[in-house]
Every structure is written in C-alpha cells, then in structure tokens.
Amino acid sequence: MTQDRAAIEMLGLTRRFGPIAAVDHLHLAVPRGELFGLVGPDGGGKTTTLRMLAGILTPTEGDATVAGHSVRREPEMLKGKIAYMSQRFGLYGDLTVLENLNFYADLFEVPKNERAARIERLLGFSNLTPFKHRLADKLSGGMKQKLGLACALIHTPEVVLLDEPTNGVDPVSRRDFWRILYEMLKEGVTILVTTAYLDEAERCNRVGLMHQGRLLALDTPDRIKGLLAGDLVEIAVTDGWRARQLLAGIPQAKGVTLFGHRLHVAVEERHRDLPAILAALEREGLQPHEPRQVIPSLEDVFISMVERGEEATHERAA
C-alpha cells in the first residue's frame, strides 16, 4: 500500500527498552477511513506502538508515517493532524465539562469563531450536553471517557489514536463509545484503537493480533477466525479453572479458553479427540456436559496462536 493512500504506515517500526524489544519490526498500513484494532494482552506492545505513532516516543529502528508525516523526522507536525487519547487522558477534575472542552480548544489553537459550533456538536455527539456544567470529577467512568474523546477531537483531526479507551468502562458506556467511533468513520476519520477486549475487536474493519511486540495475524475478524485449524468444542464443567489446568496437559487439547464454567477446546478432529478429553474430565470429577462444536472467536484464535508459538519456542530451545 502506498504512502499517499495510507493514513498510517509502519515500516519496520521498533522500540527497545534495554535488551527488550517492546515493539519488534512492525510492518503495517492503515488506509484512510478505516477502523483498525490492535489487540492483545497487557505488555504486548500496543501502548508503545501508539506512543510512537503519536510522536511521543522515538523509534529505536524503522519509521512510521501518520497523516503524511514521519514520526521520526517530523513529530512536531503531528499535533494538528492527530488525536491521541491515552489510557489516562488528562482531564481536569476541578473544571466542568464545558471548561475542559474550552481548555483543549485553547491548547489546540481552535479559532475563536469556530469554537462554539464545534463544542456544541461534540457535546451532542457524546450525549454530554445535559452535563456540560458538571465537574469532570463528578462524571461516571464512561462519561469521563466520552469527554476525553470529545476533548481529543476538538481540533478535527484526520487520525485518531485510542489506547484501550473502554478499559474498566461499564457495558452500556462501551456500547455508546463504539457508536461514537462509527459516527466518526462516516466522516472519513481514520481510527486506530487498542484493546484487550477481543470481543470489541470484532467491531473493527481489520485487526492485528499482537503478542510480545509482534503481529501474529493481520486481517478482517472473520478471516482471522478462519485461521484456527481443526475443530472447536465447547464443554460445560463444574470447575472451569481446574478443568483448564487439567486439559493443558492432554495432547488432544490444542488450545483451551475459559468462559466462566464453559471451556472452548481446540482439537484436530472432534470425533476422534473429544472422547479422550471428556474421559479425562470425568476421571477428575469435573462432570463435563453439553459438548458441542462452536464457531471460534478471536480470543480462541489468539490463544491458539500464542500457545503454538510458545510450543515452537520450547522445541527450538530443546
């Protein structure tokens, strides 16, 4: 993908902290108007990647262009083109919703004659109009996140970088936040969002599964779910945690994901491998029942890929 078509392009983007490669030679392009999800566990390199794209961290190797500007050579040029909302976005608790928006309008040098219309639109956009005179400290967690996004958008950026924006937010506020992102997409804004919630990643146009600084997979959610080889079986048990530990040592189970008291177990061939798995659970008194084949989720695929990668690493070390 050529640079003039991509809103974000990473070219061997790398960041090391001492001997540790937090981000390891990422090659990735995000076209204009796409909602792209970078997903994976804590410590996988997602935040470091966003901080480099925002011009806050300098890459150790490689480069990236964001809205046409190199993060290595011209990070100061990014300010007017991007919005970056970190996990701890800097709202001022002793200011009202309206005062926070005006503060960020000053910070981004929004023209005075455009300010009132933009603020009114953002308040409506985020359903914060009834709360515009409330102190930020008095808002719920979800409302604070929506205010943070409104403040980040005050200068009408081309590219929006969001670092786990719904972490710790209640389900209703998460839904509202994603509704706002979809509205932004209609206006041609490019959005890169990181999340540890793999169910949220299914809302994105494309996703990158990231682990230990590297991309394990990059495609649409549906295509990535198709990467899981073999069959996926859901089994209800009495003690999910103990059952998961047990199946980790059974060769027929190629990957195990826990959802409450239900396990998602990846197997090579359901009819051949399932009897041995059920028998092992029965012997330990875990009362397996309701086994059924299910469609894999992104979480199932991600865990399977991580486990395969760790097995390969152990084999090379041996």
Dihedral, 123, 202, 198, 41 alpha carbons, nearest 10: -90
Q: Which of 225-229, 300-304, 305-309 has the lowest mean pLDDT?
A: 305-309
What is the pLDDT confidence band of residue 183, given thresholds at 50, 70 and 90?
Answer: confident
Average pLDDT rounded to a whole number, residues 231-258: 92
The tokens for 20 are 């540790």
- Is residue 193 predicted with pLDDT exceeding 80? yes
Highest mean pLDDT among 19-28, 81-90, 295-304: 19-28
> Residue 9 and residue 263: Cα distance in Å, rounded?
38
Walk me through the domains of the chain, giving residue ranges and CATH numbers. 3-224 (3.40.50.300), 229-295 (3.30.70.270)
DSSP letters along 195-236, please? ES-HHHHTTSSEEEEEETTEEEEEE-HHHHHTT--SEEEEEE
Residue-averaged pLDDT of the chain: 90
pLDDT tens-place string over residues 262-296 = 999 999 999 999 999 999 999 999 999 999 999 88
For 251, the 3-state DSSP assignment is coil
Would you state the structure tokens that stand for residue 23, as one six-digit string? 């981000």
* Residues near 161 by beta carbon (within 8 Å), at least 6 away in sequence: 50, 53, 54, 82, 83, 84, 85, 192
- pLDDT value of position 54: 95
Q: DSSP states of 50-117 as a string?
A: HHHHTTSS--SEEEEEETTEETTT-GGGGTTTEEEE-TT----TTSBHHHHHHHHHHHTT--HHHHHH
Question: What distance in Å separates the CA atoms of residue 137 and residue 91, rounded to the nearest whole number?
Answer: 9
Question: Closest Cα partner for 122 from 154, 78, 93?
Answer: 154
Q: What value does the mean pLDDT take over residues 202-220?
A: 94
How sure is the predictor about 314, in pLDDT bands with cuts at 50, 70 and 90? very low
Chain-centroid distance of CA 140 in Å reads 22
Beta strand 61-66 with 69-70 is antiparallel
Share of the chain above pLDDT 90, in %: 66
- Indicate if the alpha-carbon torsion angle 283, 285, 291, 293 is positive or negative: negative
Q: How confident is the model at residue 172 (pLDDT cuts 50, 70, 90)?
A: confident
Stretch 14-35: mean pLDDT: 96
Q: What is the pLDDT of residue 125?
A: 84
Confidence of residue 4 (pLDDT cuts 50, 70, 90): low
